[in-house]
Homo-oligomer: A and B are copies of this chain.
Amino acid sequence: MVFVKWQAVKKIGGYVVILEVAILDVKSGKEKDFELVFARAQQIIAGMDGYISHQLQRCLEKAGRYILLVNWQTLEDHTQGFRQSAEYQQWKALLHHFYEPFPEVEHYELVY
């Protein structure tokens, strides 16, 4: 899922890589369930047009906190292609009930 050479993708691929960042706060006691469900759910994004790679990482300082990092070929691959798809409805049904509060998602572009 995450075998990506960043600079190589950015330059050789001929498109600008966009990094989606979401800090996810999972309801207390639901962390293991979330990780199990995410293992399935990640196959949904991995199959979308414009998807490059992703990582889910667990916070060491704050229980229940995760960060989701997804690389997309373009901003629209995430905001339009994915979010307006039928697959997004599945993603939402699987994952959204774990979050409290509901996460804010931001997009970033590589500086260095």
List residues of A whose CB falls within 8 A of some B CB.
1-8, 18-19, 21, 35, 38-39, 42, 54-62, 65-67, 69, 75, 106-112
Question: Are A110 and B55 also in contact (CB < 8 A) when A3-B8, A6-B2, A67-B21 are?
Answer: yes
Q: Smallest distance from the beta carbon of A23 to chain B beta carbons, Å?
A: 8
Instruction: Give chain B residues whose Cβ lies under 8 Å from the Cβ of A108.
Output: 57-60, 66-67
Q: Is the CB of A39 within 8 A of B112?
A: yes
Instruction: Give chain B residues whose Cβ lies under 8 Å from the Cβ of A57.
Output: 19, 108-111
Q: Is the CB of B3 within 8 A of A65?
A: no
Q: Is the CB of A5 within 8 A of B5?
A: yes
Q: Is the CB of B111 within 8 A of A60?
A: no
Q: Which residue of B lies closest to A61 (CB)?
A: B106
Q: Is the CB of B6 within 8 A of A112?
A: no
